[in-house]
């Protein structure tokens, strides 16, 4: 069966399923193609008749990776999906979900949110937005460089404000949520002036490197030390100019206007050769005047309630996934420690002795999780909780099924998503795990509805202001000593 909704830009026809309606591939901005490449999103051109909205829109241009096996080259990607619980009701809370994928990969169709929507009686919006070299490119003379993905997401939030009531959603009760790179972008919206008032709660799942640098090898073995995931606009302009010249995309000595005209004619497939260099949103311009690494600790952010957290073994995913190219062995462990921690290497080795772990890779996964994920997320929660209601969780199912073939099971990066959504290729959940996923979705959607995850039918979840961290595992929901579990007192004294 189908269902038709009249939007201000034209009618869309979605599809009715058992318990929910889905509308897919709805344009929220004009295609950013041709002369619109690397420009702020433009308004949608209205259409006549009824537009089919039963098939997904194009994901942003990307190359297939081990994380997401998507190859896409069509820049006409600014679309979104809307999932609505069945039954007439106005004023449902709205959740806008930003996908992960490292800033270069992913899309709205990579997860099906109908269980999340139906369990919590919320409207879920999942957008595609520009990624990598099309989302975070910068160049001298390019207005808005490094923020095109951020501006796309603001256009999504503007679309929600104008249109979501037509789907039964409440435009005055919008939660902006994201996982991994999506969570990083939520952090950007917390300080972006143009996002003020467009969302009313925020969820950050496994945000990485929001506030501080990450030592070498702790994100992925073999990767050098990383700065916070924000780029000064001037630095990004220099990088973009250097990359364009290196690839021969611009003529030597070209003025910025001529260079940008040539760059807008470079085939997408060629641009994607450099996409990995452009995953850091830029600050210093109108869209993001200040680095979130500075603004958030200083309290310069939008006062909305925040729910955030990590998985218990975040780093294991990356250490295992990239282990074939960059294995962690007993022989190279001392070198990795020295390159990561310098004079503190022996102290770290004593705190995480390899003989206490089944393999050196698991020892590295544990210390990487504690230093690169647990400590920064704890610090982020502290600066948020000083000024707004904040709730902290840890997803902790040791038997969570792998999210990609060939990766280990356990509570690693992204593993909670299979409990909240239907993911293509994800392993099946047992009865206790399904019950945990249902509880998580009820917590999350209670937060979306009221700005507090507390529910009378679930274990209590005090705010982080009390020091509480909620552990989420099958049959074991309740307080966890997160600080002790992740050795945060130790890491507070180690760079």
The single residue of 3, 8, 180, 254 carrying the catalytic annotation is 180
The pair phi, psi for residue 186, each rounded to 5°, is -60, -40
* Cβ atoms < 10 Å from Cβ of 455: 17
Cβ atoms of residues 75 and 264 within 8 Å:
no
Classify residue 15 by burial, with Cβ atoms within 10 Å: 0-12, 13-18, 19+.
Answer: middle
Is residue 180 annotated as part of the catalytic site, yes or no?
Answer: yes
Q: Which residues contact 237 (CB under 8 A, 6 or more apart)?
A: 138, 139, 140, 142, 145
Tracing tokens 């189908």 back to the chain, one arrives at: 2
Q: Which residues are catalytic?
A: 180
């Amino acid at each position: 069966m189908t269902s038709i909704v009249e939007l201000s830009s034209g009618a869309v026809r979605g599809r009715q399923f058992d318990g929910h309606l889905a509308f897919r591939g709805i344009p929220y901005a004009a295609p950013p193609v041709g002369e619109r490449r690397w420009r702020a999103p433009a308004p949608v051109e209205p259409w006549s008749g009824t537009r089919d909205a039963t098939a997904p829109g194009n994901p942003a241009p990307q190359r297939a990776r081990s994380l997401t096996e998507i190859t896409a080259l069509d820049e006409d990607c600014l679309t979104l999906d809307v999932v609505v619980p069945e039954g007439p009701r106005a004023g449902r809370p709205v959740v806008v979900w930003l996908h992960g994928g490292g800033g270069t990969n992913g899309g709205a169709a990579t997860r099906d949110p109908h269980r999340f929507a139906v369990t919590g009686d919320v409207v879920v919006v999942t957008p595609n937005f520009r990624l990598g070299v099309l989302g975070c490119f910068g160049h001298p003379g390019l207005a808005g460089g490094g923020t095109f993905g951020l501006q796309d997401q603001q256009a999504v939030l503007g679309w929600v404000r104008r249109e979501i009531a037509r789907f039964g959603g409440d435009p005055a009760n919008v939660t902006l949520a994201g996982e991994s790179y999506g969570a990083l972008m939520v952090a950007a919206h917390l300080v972006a002036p143009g996002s003020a008032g467009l969302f009313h709660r925020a969820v950050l799942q496994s945000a990485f490197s929001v506030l501080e640098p990450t030592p070498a090898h702790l994100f992925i073995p073999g990767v050098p030390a990383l700065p916070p995931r924000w780029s000064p606009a001037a630095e990004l302009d220099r990088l973009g100019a250097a990359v364009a010249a290196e690839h021969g995309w611009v003529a030597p000595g070209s003025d910025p206007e001529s260079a940008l005209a040539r760059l807008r004619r470079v085939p997408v497939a060629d641009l994607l050769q450099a996409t990995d260099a452009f995953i850091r949103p830029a600050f210093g311009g109108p869209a993001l005047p200040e680095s979130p690494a500075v603004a958030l600790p200083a309290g310069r952010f939008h006062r909305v309630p925040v729910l955030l957290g990590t998985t218990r073994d975040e780093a294991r995913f990356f250490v295992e996934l990239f282990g074939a190219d960059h294995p962690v062995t007993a022989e190279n462990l001392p070198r990795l420690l020295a390159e990561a921690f310098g004079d503190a290497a022996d102290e770290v080795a004593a705190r995480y002795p390899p003989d206490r772990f089944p393999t050196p890779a698991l020892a590295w996964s544990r210390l990487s999780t504690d230093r690169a994920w647990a400590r920064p997320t704890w610090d982020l929660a502290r600066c948020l909780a000083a000024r707004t209601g904040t709730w902290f969780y840890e997803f902790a199912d040791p038997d969570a099924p792998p999210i990609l073939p060939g990766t280990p099971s356990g509570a690693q990066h992204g593993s909670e998503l299979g409990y909240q959504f239907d993911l293509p290729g994800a392993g099946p959940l047992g009865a206790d795990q399904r019950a945990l996923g249902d509880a998580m979705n009820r917590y999350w959607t209670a937060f979306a509805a009221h700005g507090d995850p507390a529910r009378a039918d679930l274990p209590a979840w005090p705010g982080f202001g009390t020091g509480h961290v909620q552990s989420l595992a099958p049959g074991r929901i309740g307080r966890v000593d997160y600080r002790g579990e992740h050795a945060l007192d130790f890491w507070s004294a180690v760079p």
